[in-house]
Amino acid sequence: MSQLTTGLGIDIGGSGIKGAPVDLSTGEFLKERKKVLTPEHSTPAAVARIVGEIAAHFPEAAGAPVGVTFPGVVQQGVVRTAANLDKAWIGTDARELFTRATGQPVRVLNDADAAAVAETRYGAAAGVTGVVLLTTLGTGIGSALVVNGRLVPNTEFGHLEIDGHDAETRASSAVKDAEGLSYHEWATQRLQRYYRVVEDLLWPDLIVVGGGVSRKADRFLPLLDIRTPVVAAELRNTAGIVGAALAAAATETV
């Protein structure tokens, strides 16, 4: 039986939709990624057209497994939440929609889950046993949980109620910027409280912090006083594409 060597990953975000073919043995892009701005009216039909356009842009990946991330809860290919895209997504069978748009079977998964899949295979969580929590700090707080290398999908730990607030409305990097918090204030007053609650619930062996702000992890992670080892994600903004391709390949019979 042959082993899959290439997958196509497409990462849907609130501001951009990007994709690239991925070398599954290394996690590296085989071609420069293609990015298209997310349409202002981000309906299922509008986004599906772009997903189809990106897939068609890489003819060398024709026949490769296709994975697509979505910024919301996805159960068996069906979208259940859509905080940053058109509400028409809720209840949409994204797997069927993207399969029609690309002309080939598609695996659809939550964007933070995809990042965790990539970090577990190639990045900061590679080789780690036990419980790994990945959080993405951005407009909100995304979360993903991996137990002994296996993903537990669709966790929503960014929406825990902490001190009477939805956690991400106090501790996301967008809130840091909106309120003009310094890295010290954000880390010691907001993030530390969030991570202490989460670690008391989950007792993770490792916390991996992703999102765009992770590029500046040295400015805030050392300030956290928590018992769990915490590290920056390594794949950064390639993780969604890479994890989507990996997850799609994992569903293939080889």
State the Cα–Cα distance between residues 123 and 126, nearest whole angstrom. 6
Q: What percent of the chain has pLDDT over 70?
A: 98
Distance CA 138, CA 173 (A): 5
Cβ partners under 8 Å of residue 222, min gap 6: none
Chain segment 99-129, per-residue pLDDT in tens: 999 999 999 999 999 999 999 999 999 999 9
Q: Which of 252, 253, 254, 205 shows the shortest CA–CA distance to 231? A: 205
Token couple for 196: 């202490």
Distance CA(130)–CA(127), nearest Å, equals: 10
DSSP H or E run through 132? strand 131-137
Residues in the chain, overall count: 254
Mark whether 41 and 97 lie in a shared domain: yes
Mean pLDDT of 172-189: 97
Residue 194 covered by a domain: yes
Q: Are 194 and 171 in contact (CB under 8 A)?
A: yes
Residues 215 and 132 in one domain: yes
Give, as one character, the DSSP assignment of residue 93.
B
Residue 185's domain spans which residues? Answer: 127-234
Are residues 94 and 172 both part of a single domain? no
Which pTM was predicted?
Answer: 0.92
Does residue 143 lie within any of the structural domains? yes
Q: Is residue 91 assigned to a domain? A: yes
Q: Is residue 120 part of a domain?
A: no
pLDDT digits (tens, 9 = 90+) for 20-64: 999 999 999 999 999 999 999 999 999 999 999 999 999 999 999
Is residue 4 very low, low, confident or very high in pLDDT (cuts 50, 70, 90)?
Answer: confident
φ and ψ at 147, to 5 degrees? -120, 115
Does residue 67 sit within a domain? yes
Angstrom distance (rounded) from CA 157 to CA 20: 29
**Unique residue bearing structure tokens 């590290």:** 231
**Looking at residue 3, what is its pLDDT?**
61
**Which segments of 20-162 does DSSP mark as H helices, in order?**
44-56, 94-102, 111-122
Q: Give the count of domains, the chain.
A: 2
Residue 227: helix, strand or coil by DSSP?
coil
DSSP letter (8 states) at residue 38: P
140, part of any domain: yes
- For residues 190-200, give the mean pLDDT: 98
Could you count the other beta carbons within 10 Å of the beta carbon of residue 114? 30
